[in-house]
Amino acid sequence: MESAWWRRPSALAILLVAMALLIVVVGGSIRINDAGESCPEWPTCFGTWHFDVSEDEQAAFWAANPEHQDSRGADHRYTTFQIFVEWFHRLLVGIIAVPILINVVWMRRLETTYGRSVGQAALFSAVLLVVQAAAGAVTVFFDNADWTVALHLSLACLFTSCLIWQYMAMRLKEGATWAFMSTPAAFLDAHMRRIHAMTAAVGVLLVLGAWVSSSAGGQYNQSCSFGFPNGWPKCQGSILPSLDGPGVFVQMIHRFGALVVGLILILNLSSMRTTTDQERGSLAVLRLAEVTTGLWMLNVIVGGSYIVFAKVGDFPEWLSLLHLVVGVSAFLSAVYMMLSVRFASASLPETKSTPREVESE
């Protein structure tokens, strides 16, 4: 009988995944609360280590440090809550650094049990955390430029994916009997590339979404007007609007990208359905593909609702946060699917030429 999940060493990896997702959600809250520049420098915030900074103290800081002046102008002030959200995001990154370090040391000690690749994954996640913190500093330095926000989110998703890989590898070593491990070789050979394509497509769409939401400080969300159907699914009342307006090009790139990704997901899912052999492992992978595609469909609806229910100067920002959460969930679902077939492929007898080859997978 297996021990309770919290008693297993793999519990640390899944805890880190949960913490990483919390950091992503709080990061999204920063944007929807317009708090991206509420701490004008890094790692301190208005020269302090706390978030309770009055308007007078903000003015004094900007007067003494004009190089950090807000892009909205010297007279702009932030609320305590806005500063807190940014401050809390940084705090979470600092907190997760402790278990990440423990993870590196512990996995090195358990190398004989879990293998060298698990220890390398733990070390890689630690490196990614440092890189992610540096990307956060770059985001502050460039006043939340669209490319910095997209980079920050991309690294966060890569960081989380690495931890998911570690968790899955550890659970398999602990004796987990996941259905996907029995996926037949014929199914894997037929659909491995499709699954990789689906994962890459969802990842690219996620980056595009971060780019759109941060372009021009998020003002490009208004470029296609509002309501149904003129704002969505149309743009400015047209399926093919003029691209001359500010932000229309950015919006249409995102919408076109969502359409292309949807076609990739649906076509590949359809192919998997028509060729599935009804084996337990094949059906498990097919269900993961369905979940990924379903999350994409849900996110299209959420993204459209954000435009449909918006009014001039009043966007339902909770829908924007939900759009991010569902988008990240779709990507991580695709990553889990991709890792599942990778682990299943590595377990096939014909791939086990040497122990070293299997571990390197």
Domain endpoint, select from 149, 176, 203: 176
On the question of pLDDT at 154 being above 80, the answer is yes
Tally the C-alpha atoms within 13 A of residue 2's C-alpha that lie toward its C-beta: 14
Give this prediction's pTM: 0.88
Please give the full DSSP string across 202-250, using - where no structure is assigned: HHHHHHHHHHHHHGGGGGGGGTT-SSTTTTTTSBTTBSS--TTSTTHHH
Write down which residue in 121, 144, 176 finishes a domain.
176
pLDDT tier for residue 99 given thresholds of 50, 70 and 90? very high
User: Residue 2: is its pLDDT beyond 70?
Assistant: no
CB atoms within 10 A of CB 49: 11
Are both 290 and 211 inside the same structural domain? Answer: yes
Range of the domain at 32: 1-176
For residue 288, the surrounding DSSP H or E stretch is helix 280-308
Q: Mark whether 352 and 209 lie in a shared domain.
A: yes
Q: Are residues 14 and 44 located together in one domain of the fold?
A: yes
> What does the pLDDT look like over 155-172, one tens digit per residue?
999 999 999 999 999 999
**Same domain flag for 254 and 158:** no
Same domain flag for 329 and 242:
yes
Q: Rounded distance, CA 93 to CA 9, Å?
A: 22
Q: Which of 132-141, 192-201, 351-360 has the lowest mean pLDDT?
A: 351-360
In this structure, are 246 and 139 located in the same domain?
A: no
The count of structural domains within the chain is: 2
Phi, psi of 288 (to 5 degrees): -65, -40
pLDDT tens digits along 262-313: 999 999 999 999 877 778 899 999 999 999 999 999 999 998 898 888 876 6
CB 83 within 8 Å of CB 53: yes
Residue 212 has pLDDT above 80, yes or no: no
**Do residue 139 and residue 188 come from a single domain?**
no
Asked if 128 and 219 sit in the same domain, the reply is: no
> Which among 303, 304, 278, 294 has a CA at the least distance from the CA of 337?
294
Domain ends where: 176, 211, 232?
176
pLDDT of residue 301: 94
Q: What does the alpha-carbon distance between residue 89 and residue 148 come to, in Å, rounded to a whole number?
A: 16
Phi, psi at 348, each rounded to 5°: -65, 140
Say whether both 199 and 155 belong to one domain.
no
pLDDT top residue among 178 and 1: 178
- Binned at pLDDT 50, 70 and 90, residue 356 comes out as very low
The verdict on 155 and 187 lying in the same domain is no
As a whole number of Å, the end-to-end CA separation of the chain is 28
- DSSP letters of 310-333? -BTTB--HHHHHHHHHHHHHHHHH
Task: Indicate if the pLDDT at residue 220 is higher than 70.
Answer: no
H or E element, residue 72: none
Q: Are residues 131 and 227 in the same domain?
A: no
Residue with tokens 């966060």: 156
Q: Between helices 248-275 and 185-214, what is the axis angle to 10°?
A: 170
Residue 352 has pLDDT above 50, yes or no: no
Question: Does residue 67 sit in the same domain as residue 151?
Answer: yes
Distance CA 85, CA 100 (A): 23
Whether the per-residue pLDDT at 30 is higher than 90: the answer is: no
